[in-house]
Structure 1
Amino acid sequence: MAMSSPFSSRPSAIPSSLRILKSNPALGCCAAARPPSSGASLGAKADLLALIADQERGLRTQSDPRKRAEIIAAVEALGAMGRGQVTTGSSLSGTWRMLWTTEKEQLFIIKNAPLFGTRTGDVLQVIDVEKRSLNNVITFPPSGVFFVRSSIEAAPPQRVNFSRFTSAVLRGSNWEIPLPPFGQGWFESIYLDDDIRVAKDIRGDYLIVDRASYSWKE
């Protein structure tokens, strides 16, 4: 999960542009990333973004099984159009902002942050393919953050393994609490373009993210 930056407690805005990914080399693989065909994928992408636009990053979806099934079907439809696309290359690197997820732990924090006198801002994945690192980040404006550092290993065409979580930190404006590392797993980016990425993980959870307008740094 991994800020002076434009954090907001409001649901993440859906990107307005619909562009097609340019080819990028894959890590550890000679094949280039193939962009999905424009017509069908743009329609499927627009449908998916429309479905999640009012779902408060997944909070509302939790109590609506029919909506959840509809969104997951749209996710799988878009993923089918990205089948065969290499999504483990340099195009995976960047600061990704969560738009929607089924991950209960993240949704619990988003929902309950006000009970602890704060609010949840952007929820991020910060990936550096070249350095083989990933930070999962939850921000608590104006200065709070919880992040988990991970080392990763690409397994083209679409899987990234968490070889280990190296550390976790809960940080405020003038304090920091280190937490023990834990767990391992993997995720697959089943669709990737210039704007958004759709991922599925080892537990069967789904994640939809867009490219943040800023780069998060520790």
Structure 2
Amino acid sequence: MLVKGDLLQAIASKNIGISATKIEKQAIASLVARLEGYNPNPNPLEVPHLLDGNWRLLYTTSRELLGLNNIPLAKLGNIYQCVRIKNAKIYNIAELSGLPYLAAILSVCARFEPQNSQRVNVKFERAISGFQNILGYQSPEQFIDRIESGKNYRFGAIDFLIPDGNQQGWLDITYLDDNLRIGRGNEGSIFILDKVS
């Protein structure tokens, strides 16, 4: 699809949105709106096999996520959103690189509840952060498997439950195909992700 190719080309060199200018952000937002008009799955929650899996963030306008690049002595790497339909959970994982042996991750675990066929309410429940080598981090899949098996990171990490009522919102899934997902959050942010095989 031509619009999808144009969008992917427009975001390709924008470092998930960090280096996008105001004019480029407007052009990308226009392409996003056009592609949403061609959504092959207008009811994405009715095709859970497409939604389920690990997604890598390609581009966002979220100030919160883009602000992770401002952490001293760290450089933002990949950000993943891993959807587990069976457990109604979402795992957001940001990888940070830095000085040797100082690569870190920031992770937030959330529960989601469908509000309609396109929107999910999200309630953040747990945050985990620490150095990758201390946490034994190898990949999002391995990290999530350890969390789901009941692993607590008491030593060498910050691991805490997020109190009820704090950190909740919603996400509209406005485009979904076999390998691309677009979402719009409650703060007006755009998220473009590709599926990791």
Query: With structure 2 as the length reference, what TM-score do the two structures score?
Result: 0.78
Answer yes or no: is 1:192 the counterpart of 2:176: yes
Q: Which residue does 1:77 correspond to in 2?
A: 34
Q: 1:97 to 1:68 in 2, by over 3 A?
A: same
Q: Which residue of 1 aligns with 2:119?
A: 159
Q: Is the 8 A contact 1:83 1:190 kept in 2?
A: no
Per the alignment, residue 49 of structure 2 pairs with: 90
Name the Cα RMSD after superposition: 1.7
Counterpart of 2:67? 108
C-alpha change, 1:101 and 1:187, in structure 2 (3 Å) is same
For residues 102-137 of structure 1, the C-alpha deviation after alignment (integer angstroms, 9 at most, x for no partner) is 001111112x24x2x332221010111111000111
The 8 Å contact of residues 187 and 201 in structure 1, kept in 2 or not, is answered as yes
Q: Match of 2:87, as an amino acid?
A: K
Q: CA deviation at 1:176?
A: 0.9
Cα deviation digits, residues 6-35 of structure 1 (max 9, x gap):
xxxxxxxxxxxxxxxxxxxxxxxxxxxxxx
CA distance in structure 1 between the aligned counterparts of 2:24 and 2:157, rounded to whole angstroms: 39
Distance in 1, Cα, partners of 2:127 & 2:39: 33
Contact 1:170 1:179 in 2 (8 A): no
Q: Mapping of 1:1-218 within 5 angstroms?
A: 42-61=1-20, 64-82=21-39, 85-88=42-45, 89-110=48-69, 112-113=70-71, 115=72, 117-141=73-97, 143-162=103-122, 164-172=123-131, 173-174=133-134, 175-181=156-162, 182-213=166-197
Report % sequence identity: 27
- Which amino acid in 2 is paired with 1:107? L
Match of 1:12 in 2: none
Distance 1:118 1:68 in 2: 25
The structure richer in strand per residue is 2
CA contact (8 A) 1:133 1:151 kept: yes
String of CA shifts for 1:73-98, please: whole Å, max 9, x gaps: 11011111117622122311111101
Q: How many residues align?
A: 166
One-letter identity of the residue aligned with 2:8: L
Letter of the 1:108 counterpart: G
Higher relative contact order (CA 8 A, sep 6+): 1
TM-score for the superposition, normalised by structure 1: 0.71
Residue type of the alignment partner of 2:83: I
Counterpart AA for 1:183: Q
Per-residue deviation, 1:44? 1.1
Structure 1 alignment gaps of length 5 or more: 1-41, 214-218
